[in-house]
Structure 1
């Protein structure tokens, strides 16, 4: 797991797999980066892309700084 800090100080967690052009996976409203189908998709795409699979604000390992 990697993390980056947004401008307002919120930690955003992500995983990175593969090599090639960057591709960012955006999970659905109730999803998070470790959802099994999301992980499977990331690995399938990683043959062709560098896949960034992240937890949206307030989900999984990402923080939720108020207000936003």
Structure 2
């Protein structure tokens, strides 16, 4: 789960909550990038809701993070 934030202590609390739900937290940058993450998410959800596979247009995560 991508996370954006500027407060390291708050991010660590949220990382713990994310792990507790069985997900993996990934740093998405500071709060200045949060609006970009939200817009990208809204776009991908829109594709999914219309029957498209948004994963088909994204690189595998291992390649995106290398």
Question: Which structure has more helix as a fraction of its residues?
Answer: 2
Q: Higher strand fraction: Structure 1 or Structure 2?
A: 1
Query: Normalising to structure 1: TM-score of the pair?
Result: 0.34
The structure that has the greater radius of gyration is 2
